[in-house]
Amino acid sequence: MTDNLAPPFIFSVETVGRVASRLLTGLHEVHIEAVFASTFYLKSAQFLACVGTNGLEPGPLSIATSAPRDMNWPASGLREEARTRVSGSEIRIGNQFVFRVGRPFVWSPEPIPVPIDPDSVKRGLEVFVDEAPDFLPDEGISRLLDPEYEPGSHHYVCRAARQPLQDARDWLSQEFGGIDPGGHGDVAWVRRLSGLGPGLTPSGDDCLGGMMIALHALDAAVISQSLWRAVGRCVGETRNTVSHGHLSAASEGMCSAGIHRVVSAILIGNVDGVREAFHDIDRIGHTSGWDTMTGVAVTLQVWLARRRELSFN
C-alpha cells in the first residue's frame, strides 16, 4: 500500500475496456472474483472486469483507475468477501473503496488496415518467428514456435501441446480452404488444449484466444465463432471464470492492447514494430503474452500456407 494513502480510498475510473463498460451500465449485483497485488476481478452474472491502477494496460476487460501504480489491493484491505455494488456512477466496495465512474475513455482495439496483403503478413511473421526465440520464456507453450525446439521431459506443457497444436493446424487449413467455413471439421483437439498448464489463464487457453484474435484480424469471424463454440464448452466445464471472460472477449476479436499492437505490426509487415513489441509481450501475464502469440502465429502460418496452395491450384 502507498504510504500517503489511507481509507476510505476514493479513486476515479479513467479508462474502461469495451467489455468492462457493459458491467458499468446500469445496476448490477457484483462480487469480487479474485484479488491480486495490482489488480482485482469483478464478476456479475454476465460480465467480468479487471480493475487496476493507473498503470493497467488497456484491454477489453480492463478498468484503469486513478489509483497509483504502487497500490497494493490486499495490503490496502480489499477482500474477496467484501460487499460490492456497481452502478452507472460508481463502484463501491464495503466502506473502504469508492471508484467514481464519471465519463471514462472507452477503449477498443484499433481496426486492422484492409485489405490484408499476404506478402506483408509473410514479412512481419517471418521476423516474429525468427527473432522470438531469443525472448521466449521456458514455461508455457511458446517454445513450440521454434521448429527446432525439442521439449525435455520437464517441459510437460509443451509436450502435451505439441500434437493438439498440429491438429489445430490441420483444422485451420481445412477451414481456410472450405466452401462452408465454420460448419465442419473435428475440433476434438480443443479439449486437449483447454485448461492446459497452470495459472489463472492456462497456456492452452491463451493459445486458443490467440487463434480467435488472429481469425478476427483475418476477417474470418465465422471460423472464429465455430472455434468459440468448442472453446466455450470446454472452458465452461473447468469453471475458470477469469479465463472464460478473457476467451469470450477474444471470441469478439479483443484482447490486451499489447497483443493488438504486435498483430497489427505483423499484418502490415512493420518489422520494426514487431521487434519493438517483444518486450511488450513479456509484460502480459507470466507467460500469457507469448502463449497468446503462439496461437496468433500458428493461425497466420496456416493462412499463408493455404493461400499459397490455393493460388497454385
The answer to whether residues 291 and 239 belong to one domain is yes
Quick one: cell of 4? 500517503
Q: Give the pLDDT score at 113.
A: 80
pLDDT confidence bin for 6, thresholds 50/70/90: low
The answer to whether residues 83 and 171 belong to one domain is no
Q: Does residue 257 fall inside a structural domain? A: yes
CA–CA gap between residue 219 and residue 240 (Å, rounded): 28
The answer to whether residues 152 and 297 belong to one domain is yes
Write down the H helix ranges in 138-270: 156-177, 189-193, 203-217, 221-238, 241-251, 257-267
- The tally of CA atoms less than 13 A away on the side-chain side of residue 200 is 16
More confident residue, 143 or 25: 143
pTM score, two decimals? 0.92
The answer to whether residues 128 and 95 belong to one domain is no
Residue 153, pLDDT > 80, answer no
Q: Give the pLDDT score at 185.
A: 62
Domain end call among 74, 107, 140: 107
Residue 3, pLDDT > 60, answer no
The answer to whether residues 58 and 129 belong to one domain is no
CB atoms within 10 A of CB 135: 13
Domain end call among 107, 126, 146: 107
Angle, vertex CA 305, rays to CA 301 and CA 308, nearest 5: 145
CB atoms within 10 A of CB 257: 19
Which range of residues forms the domain containing residue 57? 9-107
pLDDT digit string, tens, across residues 29-40: 889 999 999 999
pLDDT confidence bin for 46, thresholds 50/70/90: confident
Q: Give the pLDDT score at 207.
A: 97
**How many domains does the chain divide into?**
2
CA–CA gap between residue 56 and residue 39 (Å, rounded): 8
Domain end call among 53, 86, 107: 107
Give mean pLDDT, residues 123-139: 93
Which of 50-59, 139-148, 151-160, 278-287 shows the highest mean pLDDT? 50-59
pLDDT digit string, tens, across residues 72-107: 999 999 999 899 989 888 999 998 999 999 889 999
| Percent of the chain topping pLDDT 90 | 70
The average confidence (pLDDT) of the chain is: 90
Q: Give the pLDDT score at 93.
A: 94
Q: Give the pLDDT score at 198.
A: 83
More confident residue, 1 or 87: 87
Q: Give the pLDDT score at 184.
A: 54
